[in-house]
Structure 1
Amino acid sequence: MANSERKIALVTGGGKGIGAAIAITLAQSGFDIWLNYRSDHDAANLVKNEIEQAGGQCLLLPFDVADIAACENALKPYLENATPFAIINNAGFAKDTLLALMSSQEWNDVISVHLGGFFNVTRQVLPQMLRKRCGRVINIVSTSGQTGVGGQTNYSAAKAGMIGATRSLAMEVAKRKILVNAVAPGFIETEMTEELPLDKILPMVPLGRIGKAQEVADMVDFLCSDKAEYITGQVFSVNGGACMP
């Protein structure tokens, strides 16, 4: 496929982990990538190199998704000439502690990156998607947002909010042929899970292992493909069958 014919996917939090795997996989499937990340330029450039090796073009977009002005300033110049076919709202992080001990900053920081980032990025691109009458919005949520996890009230609330937003937005834009879905990873091999006790985690996973970022990326890749044209408003769990208490 020639570059002029390639669709664009905007991936937030794409410098490492699940976001990087998604960006590279979509490039292998024929997408050019707008790769957002916050500050790790070295990691982002490594991902860019892999995208280019896969035959895609990669535009690096360093900005904080929680900062609406930074989001608008970064995206507006490029949206004047191009419209992403897919938005992958992946940017996020955790600040785990019990709610009784949680600071307002720990609450607000997590909510603003996940929910605020979803709004700031999607709201910026969605009007052009609506005019083109096509597109995909895929939100990376979490098993934590489906069932709740002790010590993660802020993170669970943010991800549960994204699930609600996914379903509502899917209803709003379906007539314009924009499909909106969520992917809910469980325990996945990333920096966020490096310090977790496997001896306590694995008994909760029927498949007996934690997942790989590539397995999440493959689900996103499917949802961005022509094979998923009758799927919207859904949450797809990639968690090895885990059901957290």
Structure 2
Amino acid sequence: MQLRDLLGRQPEALLFDLDGTLIDSVPDLASAVDQTLRQAGLPAAGEALVRGWVGNGARKLLERALSHTKGTADDAELDALLPVFFECYEACCADHTVAYPGVEAALKAWHVAGVKLACVTNKPERFAVKIVHHFGWSEMMPVVLGGDSLPTKKPAPEPLWVACERLGVAVENTIMVGDSVNDVSAARAANMPVIAVPYGYNYGSDIREAGPDMVVESLDTLCTL
């Protein structure tokens, strides 16, 4: 199955999740989490645990880290530590983050073919923009929506609709590409097909259980439109 099989025609646009879909950001996220925990007088969590906590935005990531290290994570503590985490992450967000195999080739191929590309992530917008720029994708992916760009975030459909509006494409001619149940749920709510990758961050569950229209091991396998 190829992209055109999902719509019956070549798509106008593809919307991509970022963490776990295009990039493996866990090394830098784990570094920022551990720095934040240490500043709070708590033990570091380590990369292996953080890998299982990523996917619902920064606040939820920090909540999971605090719950693991001290058993609780109240709103006041989260409010106090979230700016610390953001400061730590901003300093290191592109240090050890890497693109998954096949991503670079796939994005370039779709861009050359005239398919419009956007990033729709729950990561705060300023970090997403910085990372997209770091990898040299800004020209190919001019629209970047973060978890704080709109009043709602995935799994709500609004970020997907707004991305389509800013790209100037129809929702019915667009495909979502992600790695988690949030991406699948957002695409279903937005009434667009969804492709999933199995290598990302889905809280230990097989992404196939979420019911995407297609699962691909590497995005470059879809470059033949």
TM surpasses 0.5: no
* Higher RCO (C-alpha 8 Å, min separation 6): 2
